[in-house]
Chain A
């Protein structure tokens, strides 16, 4: 059974860079038709797709975040990562990693999520 687990700092200062890693277990990250994505959910609000990466390093980014966003992959560790620069308090959210099925255009496996608070 595929499992995903987010890790990283739970507190980030405004204007700094938010960095998270997702470790995939129970299957290889190096599979065709699958990307690996990040989705966030501010407290009490809806879901927002951030960006996705393939095992080759090809990326798709939310247009509203593209200028500040880097999503990368490390196949040797079966991990992928998120870096979002110049964060503000409004980006306080639970950040989820998920497998992004590009054939069906859905997110079929999700991590448990990690709360990142942006505050000084």
Chain B
């Protein structure tokens, strides 16, 4: 059982927006602004998409955005494209030099 809770699946049609949630506790997601999101295509390594809740690394399309409210962080993919179909994982700093991940959400582009 993962420390952070994500829905197992999400889906949307091309051009639509989809939001993936990541629920933690007041000791991790709710306390620190250190939530990151990773995209993993099948058989590939994870790729950093969002860090510090809302920031995008260079090269990540601005269709990807992050937010947080209370103990829940969210990743929104706008203008959904076929190449966005992948597994998405959230992660948070949990204090005491410990880092935790979510169980992953499979995003399907219909």
Contacts and interface: CB of A to CB of B under 8 A. Distances in A.
Nearest to B2: A46
A33 interface: no
A111 B45 contact: yes
B51 A47 contact: no
Contacts of B99: 49, 105
B48 A108 contact: yes
Contact of B34 (A45, A49, A104, A112): A104
A39 B99 CA distance: 10
B104 to A, nearest CB: 5
B93 A49 contact: no
Contacts of B48: 106-108
Nearest to B45: A110
A62 interface: yes
A47 B51 CA distance: 17
Interface in A13-51: 39, 45-49
B36 A107 contact: yes
Interface string A75-101: 000000000000000000000100001
Contacts of A108: 48, 51, 57
Given A47-B101, A47-B104, A49-B100, A106 B46 contact: no
A105 B98 contact: no
A49 B79 CA distance: 32
A106 B91 contact: yes
B97 A105 contact: no
Interface of A: 39, 45-49, 60, 62-63, 96, 101, 104-108, 110-113
Given A46-B103, A105-B99, 17 more contacts: A47-B101, A49-B91, A60-B98, A63-B98, A101-B51, A104-B36, A105-B36, A105-B52, A105-B93, A106-B36, A106-B52, A110-B45, A110-B46, A110-B47, A111-B45, A112-B44, A113-B45
